[in-house]
Amino acid sequence: MTSTSRRTVLTALATAAVSGPLLGSLTATDAHATGDLDIYTSNTDLYKKLAGQEGVEFARRYRRHEYVDHSVPQRFPYNRTTVMALHGGGIETGTSELCLAIAGYHPATLAPLTDGHGVFDYWMFEGLRSSGNRDLHVTAKNCDDHVALSMAASSLNVLSLHGCTAAQAGTVPQAVVVGGLNTRFKTLLKAEFDAVGIAWRDGDEVPDLAGVNPANPVNRTMLDKGGQLELTTELRAAMFTVNTRAGRAGSTTPVFDRFVGACRAAITELEKGTDQVVL
């Protein structure tokens, strides 16, 4: 079944919750991924110009799990996957909470999930302003945060979460654009979204949202490829009953749970691949 026919079937599912035509024929506004509206040329540029404002206007959060191997005869597991939200907090709302949950932590309590998929490393940049967070957006290809890049470089896989509008995506209101250079990861993600009734579009059909730039942290992995998800505003809104920075983490909905479960299942399957071994 082609991606087009899948979207045709899933349009009927999407209209059960929201109404609206497929927007592929409409002229989309500039996607954030182009960076045309960015004020800062890089994360470093932002950090310098907003010196002293971390924790007030923006924040960085990450977790690198400790892995130790002092055994001579045996090898022990290492981290394969990192989850990222480059525009979290109030910039592309909902991506921080998704980043934490897909990495295996409850977004409100940070308690590890018990779904059997384990935990993954994560990194996020968040806008903390009461308004005007869009000004904190740094397009992915210009992200030069040293921790973010080092985490990507030491991971076999990155799953990067972003937000877009349905007009930019050219989709039904509640949908996700599946991009990145890891075609197997994309295939697994799309299959899992099919299984839980989440409409998707292939990033190859939406160049501004495709996530294929080699400079994008999602593709700066040990394998030089990763998976990127661009979620529409309506899909992210459906994931929370209190859609504010303070309220989102504690008010997730079944839509949030289905999306997170699909991503975690896809990561688990991805990590079974033959390319997931470092000799």
Average pLDDT of the segment spanning 233-258: 98
CATH of the domain at 97: 3.40.630.100
The per-residue pLDDT for range 66-87, each reduced to its tens digit, is 999 999 999 888 889 999 999 9
161 in a structural domain? yes
For the stretch 140-143, contacts whose Cβ atoms lie closer than 8 Å and that sit 24 or more positions apart, written own/partner, are 140/33, 140/86, 140/211, 140/213, 140/216, 140/217, 140/218, 140/228, 141/35, 141/213, 141/215, 141/216, 142/35, 142/38, 142/41, 142/42, 142/43, 142/215, 143/42, 143/43, 143/86, 143/216, 143/217
Give the model's pLDDT for residue 260: 98
- More confidently predicted of 222 and 7: 222
Residue 73 domain-assigned (yes or no): no
Calculate mean pLDDT across residues 170-190. 98
Q: pLDDT tens digits for 138-169?
A: 999 999 999 999 999 999 999 999 999 999 99
In-domain check, residue 275 = no
pLDDT tops 70 at residue 49:
yes
Closest CA to 209 of 32, 23, 9, 22: 32
- Whether residue 5 is predicted with pLDDT greater than 80 in this model: the reply is no
User: Is residue 172 one of the residues assigned to a domain?
Assistant: yes
pLDDT of residue 19 exceeding 70: no
Q: Distance between CA 275 and CA 161 in Å, rounded?
A: 23
22: domain range? Answer: 3-65+78-270
Structure tokens at 152: 């990507």
Residues 96-130 have pLDDT tens digits of 999 999 999 999 999 999 999 999 999 999 999 99
**Predicted confidence (pLDDT) at residue 17 exceeds the cutoff of 80:** no
Residue 276 to residue 265: CA distance in whole angstroms: 16
* Cβ count within 10 A of residue 271: 18
Name the band, by pLDDT with cuts 50, 70 and 90, for residue 12.
Answer: very low
- Reported confidence tier of residue 32, pLDDT bands at 50, 70, 90: low
Asked whether residue 71 is domain-assigned, the answer is no
What pLDDT was estimated at residue 75? 86
Q: Is residue 256 situated within a structural domain?
A: yes
- Residue 13 clears pLDDT 80, i.e. is over it: no
Number of domains in the chain: 1
Percentage of the chain with pLDDT > 90? 83
Residue 232 pLDDT > 90: yes
Within-domain flag for 17: yes
Per the domain annotation, does 133 fall within a domain?
Answer: yes
pLDDT averaged over every residue in the chain: 90
